[in-house]
Structure 1
Amino acid sequence: MTSSSTPSPPPPTTSATEPAPLAPGTILWDIAGDIRLLLSLPAALVLQVAHPAVGAGVDEHSVFRTDPWGRAERSLESLQLWVYGGDRAIEEGRRLRRLHKTISGTDTRGRAYHALTPAHYAWVHATAYPVFLRAARYLSRPLSPEDEHRLYGELLHLGAILGIDARDMPGTPEEFWPYFDAMIQDELERTAVAGELLDPRRRVPPPPGSGALLRRLWPLCARPLSRLHVFVTTGLLPPAVRERLGLTWRPRDERRLRRLGALVRTLVPLLPERLRFLPTARAARSA
């Protein structure tokens, strides 16, 4: 039974003991600040907004259309704080929950939603796991079964930092995949926001502060960059999600993505640390 009334935001998760920050030696510490994250994050975002409630929240409350670069920069910096922020990670989790307290409305199926509804908030976090695994497979190295379990445990720990109750997430990778399959089958759809993010014709202005040369060249390079962005995003989506969203992925596309991945796997490890890692991660790793 659906309702158009707006639900009240759920109470925040509280605990007598705050979760410890993530630290060196974790898998997330090694991968969350690597520049290859910039190639995989868009696939996670598409997974998130393909959920009708999340897509409606972004459609109605986000500035991703009017300020795409600023929104991306703020989201990326927030993510970096979760992993590399130490004690600041807990406060960043609280800040995000405060930010989302006023986000509510009605999704495309006529259902009332609130951004902090546990199932919706947990879904946004859960999308990291399949995308991290696929990014590792194509852009770095596939994780061993043991490391897949370690990574999932670290993501549960990160969820606690963000205020996600353990009850709202599958407890193990073995429990995750049936949950994920059910979400694809029962919930995901090509929402308006997902469609925009997967449209290679989407127009994005040049980054703020671009020099005169880049601004002149932007009309020429924006379209090829957009096609590449959508190509990588589509390739890093799980096949069942591509099918659900009506995306075409041919054998030659798979071969192209594998060739691109081989190039990335070869070149990125050769970069100096100041170029290989994002600023917040680089500062934490050098501390």
Structure 2
Amino acid sequence: MAATTIPASDRRRRLPMPLVYRHLGDRRFAYTLPRAIALQILQPANAASLVQHVHGGLWAHKSRAVGQMVYMAYSNRDLTAVIRNAHAHVKGIDSRGERYHSLNPELFFFQHATYVDTLFTSIDVFHGGLSRDEKEQLYAQCRLWYGKYDISDRDQPTTYDGFVEYFDDYLATHLSMTPDAAALRQEVLHPPTWYPRKVPSPAIRALLHPRAAELLDVEVTGADRAALRAFAAAANARAGLRPHRYQLIPPARHDPDE
């Protein structure tokens, strides 16, 4: 599949991504992030990058990285240089003895894919899910969002069904419990800061992708799922009391041309 690069003229204007704009910047997506990060630490190269290059705590790092991701999604500006500069030094050797670089398209797209999966999950948990057509629309918009990074999309499926197939296959064949993952496990399941800190531990367990729960040796119980339903109901009640702008995390509130 040929790489799809969004021309600078298109990157400078707000792309037609209404479902992405509605949900990605919502704090309820941020609450769901332990799902994505649990999968990321089980990818050996990504886990190594987090252990070797992140200082000051996993979730402090993710608050900055995800904040930048959300800012970029909501921006009309061409910020591709920011992505390349932020990731250029993130390289090394993982616990398997294999070299990695965070700008490798396969690794970069996998990280994006965990956020796409988590975005769909947040909509399922907090908003009642999407119709079949809406899933296809949201996935098409996620492809536009990924195009803003100007990283090769050679691994990016073109349809929602293709994405589900890619994601299931990748999780089955590329994830493992490494010493780096073990070192990060506690912080993923018990975030000490940022929006995920507000999510009860039982609800976080219920948010985990089944593959992550399996590899992290987490048993998800009926009580955990009930805790997630209760948390979602409370979060939705709070959201109903706020103006929409303040339901967005700060990086999504900026003027798109600034």
TM-score category (smaller protein): 0.7 to 0.9
Percent identical: 24
User: Residues 193 and 123 of structure 1: is their aligned pair in 2 closer, same or farther, counting only changes over 3 Å?
Assistant: farther
Deviation of 1:109 (Å): 1.8
1:3 alignment partner in structure 2: none
How far apart in 2 are the matches of 1:31 and 1:16? Answer: 22
How far apart in 2 are the matches of 1:141 and 1:16? Answer: 32
Match of 2:7, SS state, is: coil
Matched, 1:243 2:235: no
Aligned counterpart for 1:80 among listed residues 43, 54, 70: 70
Deviation of 1:73 (Å): 3.8
Contact 2:109 2:153 in 1 (8 A): no
Matched, 1:54 2:41: no
Structure 2 residue identity aligned to 1:79: M
TM-score (norm. length: structure 2)? 0.84
User: Residues 284 and 233 of structure 1: is their aligned pair in 2 closer, same or farther, counting only changes over 3 Å?
Assistant: farther
Match of 1:260, SS state, is: helix
Q: Point out where structure 2 has 5 or more consecutive residues left out of the alignment.
A: none
Match of 2:240, SS state, is: helix
* Map 1:160-171 → 2, pairs under 5 A: 160-171=147-158
CA RMSD of the aligned region, Å?
2.8
Deviation of 1:189 (Å): 2.4
| Higher RCO, 1 vs 2 (CA within 8 Å, ≥6 residues apart) | 2
1:256 alignment partner in structure 2: 227
Query: Which has the higher Rg, Structure 1 or Structure 2?
Result: 1
TM-score (norm. length: structure 1)? 0.76
Matched, 1:233 2:225: no
Deviations 1:67-99 (A, max 9, x none): 853x34422431222222211xx22x3212122
User: Residues 229 and 255 of structure 1: is their aligned pair in 2 closer, same or farther, counting only changes over 3 Å?
Assistant: closer
1:214 alignment partner in structure 2: none
Aligned counterpart for 1:39 among listed residues 31, 45, 58: 31
Aligned length: 249
User: Residues 40 and 193 of structure 1: is their aligned pair in 2 closer, same or farther, counting only changes over 3 Å?
Assistant: farther
How far apart in 1 are the matches of 2:107 and 2:204? Answer: 22
How far apart in 1 are the matches of 2:116 and 2:5? Answer: 25
Q: Point out where structure 1 has 5 or more consecutive residues left out of the alignment.
A: 1-12, 208-224
Contact 1:197 1:230 in 2 (8 A): no
Aligned counterpart for 1:185 among listed residues 158, 167, 172: 172
